[in-house]
Structure 1
Amino acid sequence: MVLTRRHVDVDRSVRQDAVDAIQSEKAASFRDNVKTYKKAVFWSLLLSTCIVMEGFQLIILNSLYVLPAFQKQFGTANDKGVYSVSSKWQSILANIALIGQILGLIFSGYMVEKIGYKYTLVLGLVGLGGAITASFVATKLWTLAVGQFLCGIPWGMFQTTTTTYASEVTPLGLRPFLTTYVNLCWCLGQMISSLMLKRASNLEGDLSYKIPFGSQWIWILPLIVGILFAPESPWWLIRQGRTEDAKRHLMRLTTRHYADHTNTKASVNMMFYTNELEKSRSGGIDYLDCFRGTDLRRTEISCNVWAIQIVSGGSLMGFSAYFFIRAGLSASDAFNFQVAQFALGMLGTIISWSLLSHFGRRTLYLFGQAVGLLCLVVMGIVSSFLSGDTASWTAGGMLLAFTFFYDATVGPVCYSIVAEISSTRLRNKTIVLARIWYNILGLVAGTLTPIMLNPDAADLGGKSGFVYAGTALIMLVWTWYRLPETKGRSFTELDMLFDEKTNARDFKSASVHIGTSSNGGTQRDNISLTTRTHRSVIHAVPDEETQPLKAEDGITKAITFTTERMDR
């Protein structure tokens, strides 16, 4: 039974190069990949370092609420003469930065298609330099809010551009490590911020909060200079129709041994083949195309994978110092716990690299969500039935355990999944939409979490773990039924699995083969897909009625794909 029929304008040699490149990537060892792509690793690490700045800033504002100088400058005194920033303004400051990030995400989605990844990041860094000034000189809450809004725009530009770049300049064997490195950058930024805040808490006057704001300027100029020398993504250049530029930039990402004509040509043709395959299916690269056909499912997965970080308790980590104090710890102990928290986060991310080599993305996500759910429930129970130091230290310990398992599974693995799950032509926009959904949920969490923790509001303290345990359970069920396994799959294979509407739980066992078959002495291309429930053979047969299109290398030829499904 014929299910689909689509035209893909590529020559047989291009298809064979694509097959060879995919097989070569799968066969390469980790050591071989690092040796061959060490330049790509360097450039990916450099560009992802932009996220360190955002992780740094994420902790600053939520932690400054416990500094006496900040409270006196921006807070109001109660009847006892104690200064504090109201939960209303805490929510405004947290949420207005998220609104800026949403605008930055939308802006970056368009800018990447126009000017590429590296120049989009440079533009964001230049804007951030001015935005930091607004926060540094602020003396009123509303001026601080303006500064946070302006900072949010470049932060939004960094959030997806770095992840997408990492996924496109590295091969299959390195992709999970370089995309999850983004999570390490978050943890590193939070760690540096916590250490600086601990030292700044001993300072007198406005220097205790101005120094953390101003220290962000140190990062900007070195990053701009470095990024300007970085090669552009070859995938982006292919989408722009710049095949020769793609070859040249791929050679800059690889060693001289790899960058010979044969290897470079095969890799670029694999990119060209995948791009043409996706164009034959939908062709569009607008935001609306993310909600059409099989891309709708891929967008849903990307959005919810990131949403899990918020609704499964991750937002509590951003308010950790405030949470520890509300749980009953002193300010000094709270900052010590916070430093330990992000040290565990960094350790967890490093451990995740080993786990990713042995376990699938889906397996790690399910495990991380289940353990996180358990930590939240224990946190809530302890805070409900115990009191005093025992309850405070136990609740704090549970948040530390939550952080470790989160950053060994859900935190970093999310970046690997969203970088792989979308189609290459829509990857940047799909990740933008997913991050926007993340930030919208962050707006909700940024409003509710201070209310749950603030003694003048709900004052739940550690019992707020129960609230997030409920939403964590819902998302655990979603993961079981909807999240597919992407480990070891090339972008071309993932396209085929989604096109065939393969069940999420069948992705791991599905067998995809791209090769040739013979029919009456005539050779023809075919792609076969076998899962637990069906077997599909996708034949590529010359179509005499289709006019061939020209590519830059002049070797394209029109062929038609038909699909036959046979129930098993």
Structure 2
Amino acid sequence: MATVRDLGKHENLPDTKAVDNDTGTIIDQITESTSHFSNGEAWDEDRTLWQNIKRYRKVVGITFGLTSAILLYGFDNVIVGTVSGMPGFQKDFGEYLVKTDEWILPSSWLALWNVSSPIGAMCGSIAGAFLQDRIGRRRALALCSLLSAFSVAIMYVSYLPSSIDSRRGCFFAGRLFQGFSIGAVMTTTQTYMSEILPPILRGSGMAFFPVFTFLGQLTGALVIFGSLHKGKGYTIAFASQWPFSFVPILIALFIPESPAYHIRKNAISRALESQTRLDPRGTDTAATVEKMQKDIEHEAQLNKAASFAACFRGRNLRRTLIVMWANSLPCVFGLSLLAKASYFLQIVGMSSGNSVLFLILGIVLGLLANAVSVWAVSRVGRRKLIFASLGISAGLWLGMGIANCFHGSGVVWWTAASMMLVIVVCGVGVWPAAYAVAAETSSLQLRAKTQGIGWCVSAFTTAVAGIVLPYIFNPDAGNLRGKVGFTYVGSCVVGLGVSWLIVPEMKGRSIGEIDRMFEMGLSARGFEAWREDDRGSGTREWTAERPVV
């Protein structure tokens, strides 16, 4: 593989190869500490969040541009999820229940629709991981966003067939393909952001996922509310998704390709060009690329091929399992039910108008909580955020379950308030922390593949919840209604225990440090206390078998 020095870009770097005098083994020397001091990262922890934002304003600006893809994700979740609560949609796609004098959606079709997006996202996340390693992050983002626009068109015309089963099937197909494209878009976006963000801003950048998911949901909820009582208002909601599908395409035209992708393709000059567009003024860009190249070369020694199978071999297995668990945490704390707040609150006994208002209120509260989380994840450890928020959420779900053992209008309002509080608590804690853990755990060489697996697991857990939940709380099935809170008490408690055992603290750690701690086999609780013995010496030595300190 060509190096930066081969290009004449960086003449004074120390040798990158050394020989162990006892064994004759070639050892990679990763000039991590040197590059940290030359690029100013050593003092990032001493700066405030705002100071680091100003220092890395190029990366922050690109990250904000990429949030257009997250907006698409959030907007789509609300539109295709909340449309089931619109009276016009219920009449065109549902059936009339004489006993209760109301239109309802059959549990079988509701479960099928709920699971269609996650199933599509499972396939899309794997396909997106493969695609971005073949054609690059930028092209994958643009292509998959274009596929999203075609999926919206399918949903838009789903009311045209004369047969009700054909209408239901057409809507199912649209949701399935939309889930596929969204899964690929989100996998690519998270991979790209995790590769360009500096360690000090990685947590805050990943907190953008819930922030802009909520912002997209708020926008979608306002569209739903504005077209709620129109005859075919749901078609307006579907059409409003098109602008959100095309914006990421435009963003992809202007952002630089990920330097890590170029390095893996042995395009070092292009990696330097991309990194130059990302680095602050005065940064030794060549040193940054050199260090990244050495990290990737070392990972390549341990993993002969960047394949999906490699994610489940050796030390990578532990890292992949952590990413899979982190992507499951949103379903663990109850996001799948919270996303269906409008329909669920109607089942509990709230009017359709008030249920949509509570959906909007929940999104606003969650958005504010997520805004706080951008600061919180930059200063508070991931483990602390996860533990505290899951523990509090378990208590809130328990209160909701107990309240629904009784009857009365107060129970309905208590249920809604409990769900709002869960959104706030998890919006500050476990939700953004889960994105940060998922983004920083995997190695650079397997980043795209591992993110694809993670998003696939996220979609799978969402699909399972989409299948099970309607049969638990819907009146024509389990009829548990608000007592579903008891199920989330158990899931939050289990989630807290599993997270304590397997989720390490990686806040502020560089890629090289994370690699080394996993290679040393440190326990999840040992990551936070570990410090590199020769941090100030300028070099760090690794062998292909184990780190040499």
Letter in 1 for 2:220: S
Shift in Å at residue 22 of structure 1? 7.6
Distance 1:506 1:6, change over 3 A: farther
Counterpart amino acid of residue 128 in structure 1: S
Task: Tell me if structure 1 keeps the 8 A contact 2:401–2:486.
Answer: yes
Question: 1:227 maps to which residue?
Answer: 252
- Are the equivalent residues in 2 in contact too, given 1:7–1:561 (CA < 8 A)? no
Does the Cα contact within 8 Å between 1:6 and 1:560 map onto a contact in 2? no
Residue type at the aligned position of 2:113:
L
Q: 1:422-450 deviations in whole A, cap 9, x for unaligned?
A: 11111111111111112111111001111
Q: How far apart are the structure 1 equivalents of 2:115 and 2:25?
A: 47
**CA distances 1:302-342 after superposition (whole Å, capped 9, x unpaired):** 11111121133221111101111122211111111111101
Q: Matched residues in 2 for 1:397 and 1:63: separation?
A: 19
What secondary structure, in the 3-state scheme, does the structure 1 residue paired with 2:443 have? coil
Aligned pair partner of 2:222 in 192, 195, 220: 195
Task: Look up the match of 2:12.
Answer: none
| 1:201-243 C-alpha deviation (Å, 9 max, x unpaired) | 132x11x100010011122333322321110111111111111
Letter in 2 for 1:258: G
User: 1:506 and 2:533 equivalent?
Assistant: no
- Residue 62 of structure 1 corresponds to 81
Counterpart of 1:299 in structure 2: which amino acid? Answer: T
Distance 2:545 2:282 in 1: 32
- Quick one: distance in 2 between partners of 1:447 and 1:149? 15
Residues 511-522 of structure 1: matches in 2 within 5 Å? 511-514=531-534
Where in structure 2 are there 5+ consecutive unaligned residues?
1-19, 160-166
Does the C-alpha gap of structure 1 residues 337 and 18 become closer, same or farther in structure 2, counting only changes over 3 Å?
A: same
What is the CA RMSD across the aligned residues, in angstroms?
2.3
Structure 1 position 504, deviation (Å)? 0.7
Check the 8 A contact 1:9/1:276 in 2, yes or no.
no
Residue in 2 that maps onto 1:416 = 436
Instruction: State the alpha-carbon separation in 2 of the partners of residues 347 and 325 from structure 1.
Output: 25
Q: Which sections of structure 1, spanning at least 5 residues, go unmatched?
A: 518-524, 528-538, 541-558
Q: 1:35, CA displacement in angstroms?
A: 2.9
Distance 2:273 2:403 in 1: 59
* Equivalent residue, structure 2, for 1:302: 323
Matched with 1:124 is 144
Change (3 A) 1:352 1:563: closer
**Secondary structure of 2:158's aligned partner:** coil
Is the 1:452–1:461 contact (alpha carbons within 8 Å) kept by the matching residues of 2?
A: yes
CA distance in 1, matches of 2:223, 2:305: 47
Q: Give the match for residue 78 of structure 1.
A: 97
Match of 2:180 in 1: 153
Between structures 1 and 2, the one with greater strand share: 1
Q: In structure 1, which of residues 229, 237, 243 is the aligned counterpart of residue 268 of structure 2?
A: 243
Q: 1:51 aligns with which of 50, 70, 79?
A: 70
Task: State whether residues 66 and 331 of structure 1, in contact with CA within 8 Å, keep that contact through their aligned partners in structure 2.
Answer: yes
Q: Is the 8 A contact 1:180 1:413 kept in 2?
A: yes
Q: Deviations over 1:457-495 (max 9, x none)?
A: 111111001012112211211111111100121110010
Structure 1 distance, partners of 2:536, 2:255, is: 39
| In 1: Cα distance, 2:261 partner to 2:109 partner | 42
> What is the CA-CA distance between 1:564 and the residue it aligns to?
6.8
Q: How does 1:344-363 map to 2 (within 5 A)?
A: 344-363=365-384
State whether structure 2 residue 304 is matched by structure 1 residue 283.
Answer: yes
Q: Distance in 2 between matches of 1:147 and 1:123?
A: 17
The 1:564/1:182 distance shift into structure 2, 3 A limit, reads closer
Matching residue within 453, 465, 471 for 2:485: 465
Q: Residues 435 and 388 of structure 1: is their aligned pair in 2 closer, same or farther, counting only changes over 3 Å?
A: same
Deviates most, 217-226 or 131-140? 217-226
Deviation at 1:561, TM superposition (A): 7.2
Asked if the contact 1:121/1:158 (under 8 Å) is kept, the reply is: yes
- Could you tell me how far 1:25 is from its partner in structure 2? 4.8
Question: Could you say what secondary structure the match of 2:200 adopts?
Answer: coil
Q: In 2, are the aligned partners of 1:17 and 1:270 still within 8 Å (CA)?
A: no
Say whether the 8 Å CA contact 1:299–1:422 is kept in structure 2: yes
- 1:156 counterpart SS class: helix
Range with greater deviation from structure 2 (114-123 or 171-180): 171-180
SS of match in other structure, 2:525: helix
Provide the C-alpha distance between the structure 1 equivalents of 2:81 and 2:32, rounded to a whole number of angstroms: 53
Within-5 A mapping of 1:71-110 = 71-80=90-99, 82-110=102-130
Q: Name the aligned partner's letter for residue 111 of structure 2.
A: S
Question: Residue in 1 aligned with 2:287?
Answer: 266
Structure 1 residue 515: deviation in Å? 5.7
Q: Secondary structure at the match of 1:278?
A: helix
2:468 maps to 1:444: no
Query: How far apart, CA to CA, are the structure 1 residues paired with 2:467 and 2:366?
Result: 24
Q: Distance in 2 between matches of 1:269 and 1:16?
A: 13
What one-letter code is carried by the residue in structure 2 that aligns with 1:221? F
* Partner amino acid, structure 2, of 1:151: Q
Give 1:177's match in structure 2, choosing from 204, 208, 216: 204
2:60 to 32, 41, 49: 41
Q: Specify the code of the residue in structure 2 equivalent to 1:241.
A: N
When residues 499 and 70 of structure 1 are mapped into structure 2, their CA distance, relative to the original with a 3 A threshold, is same
SS of match in other structure, 2:508: coil
Deviation, 1:379, is: 0.8
On the 8 A contact 2:149/2:246 being kept in 1, the answer is no
Matched, 1:373 2:400: no
- Paired with 1:7 and 1:398, the residues of 2 have a C-alpha distance of 60
* Contact 1:95/1:446 (8 A) holds in 2: yes
Q: Which residue of 2 aligns with 1:534?
A: none
Aligned to 1:554: none
What is the identity, as a one-letter code, of the residue corresponding to 1:296?
L
Cα distance in 2 for residues equivalent to 1:314 and 1:219: 22
Give the TM-score taking structure 2 as reference length.
0.89
CA distance in 1, matches of 2:433, 2:357: 27
Q: Does 1:488 align with 2:488?
A: no
Partner of 1:548: none
Offset at 1:200?
A: 0.8
What is the percent sequence identity of the aligned residues? 28
Q: Distance in 2 between matches of 1:22 and 1:561?
A: 29
- 1:335 matched to 2:362: no
Q: Which amino acid aligns with 2:158?
A: A
Q: Within the alignment, does 1:24 sit opposite 2:41 as a pair?
A: yes
Residues 174 and 25 of structure 1: CA distance in aligned 2, closer, same or farther (over 3 Å):
farther
